[in-house]
Structure 1
Amino acid sequence: MTIAVGVFELFTYAIPGSLYVTLLTYIATRAHWMDLAAMLRSPAFLLVIAVVLLSYLLGYLAYPLGLLAHKIVPKRRKRNAREEFLRRNPAAKGRPFTKADPFLLLAAIQLQDQEVGADASRVRATGLMLRNCAPPVFFGAVTAIVELIVGRNAVAAISCAVLFLVSSIALVVQGRMLTHWASLRTFEVAFWIPEIDDKFRP
């Protein structure tokens, strides 16, 4: 249980937060608000702890930005994991678990077997990680545009702006796909647990 929660928090909060830390460090160094060389001379152990804690806190605080990005980026198509699962597996039609909420179903699977449910949790955490990484990458594109105006290397600035902008959109799209796969995986795992239906009978 501790490992599963740790992986979820690492993917969902700490990794996106580390991108915010990287971006803020670059901006602060570029604007001469911070002496990066002096910071690197500080004790490595304390520096690592500070970066890890700051990454987690920023990732947690900026979580709503990932949700906002999810809402802003247009959807190319509507995905429904329940309908896709039933279309691919007609034998599951009529079973009570197919009518359950995917998150509630995942909780029931984890009560039955924590390790079996961990796979869907990891896929969902990866999807959230990609989605939450989109805002700092987009802000990186904005920073590159500013560098185009005030900097001296126009080619690098334009290249970074285009790359970061496209990447931020792609991260949201791939995050949606992985979230869909996580829900689909939840139904697939539940299919092979006969007693799971008893938990959702009226």
Structure 2
Amino acid sequence: IVLIACEDVTERKRTELALQRSEAHLAQAQELSHTGSFSWNATTGEAFWSKETFRIFQIDPQTIPSPQLVVDRTHPDDRASVKEVIDGAMRDLNGFEHEYRLLLPDGSVKHIRAKARLTRSASGEIEFVGAATDITAARRAEQQLRRSEAYLAEAQHLTHTGSWSWDVHGLDFVYRSAEVDRLFGFDPQEPVSIETIRSRIHPEDLPRLQEVQR
């Protein structure tokens, strides 16, 4: 006697394919946004890193992740603050958000923003679930902007040239450079009205200023 059993697994296969598609989309989204996900069960010590998290930290995906692995990869100047954040989260049982730098094996530096929330399972286990984003490009852009602003300020100081932007409706500066304040004797901390500007203009030149304002 031969008994044959058949089972319709169509729905299960559809579910598996949908799950695979969802995981693939998530992986692509993490790669595009330079954001990796992680979790750490503080009760059991087990941790999980997504593929993108391993890529950001430049660590072999076969490595078992842990909070200590994060500390070891952190820039020496930031390790104390990272340890403090981890210890504080465990002590106070709170989520956390902080920025720190990584020092990679090739000597390069990455800027990371990490954010996590604390969850509790039905059995009382404590787990931190969060995301780590590589914000290196943004931080470098900010540094470049500050450098450019410093160069511009120095060039204006050397050439005695100020720059400004004026709101014709609000009758107020939208922006004025430090050299404008120096040239006109304005207090950098104080707002400047049109009357204040006129008070700095030589009386013989006021008609020309009024003509320009029209």
Same fold (TM over 0.5): no
Q: RCO (CA 8 Å, sep 6+): is it higher in 1 or 2? A: 1
Q: Which has the larger radius of gyration?
A: 2
Q: Which structure features the higher share of strand residues?
A: 2
TM-score by length of 1: 0.24
Q: Which TM-score applies when normalising by structure 2?
A: 0.23
Instruction: Please state which structure has a larger fraction of its residues in helix.
Output: 1
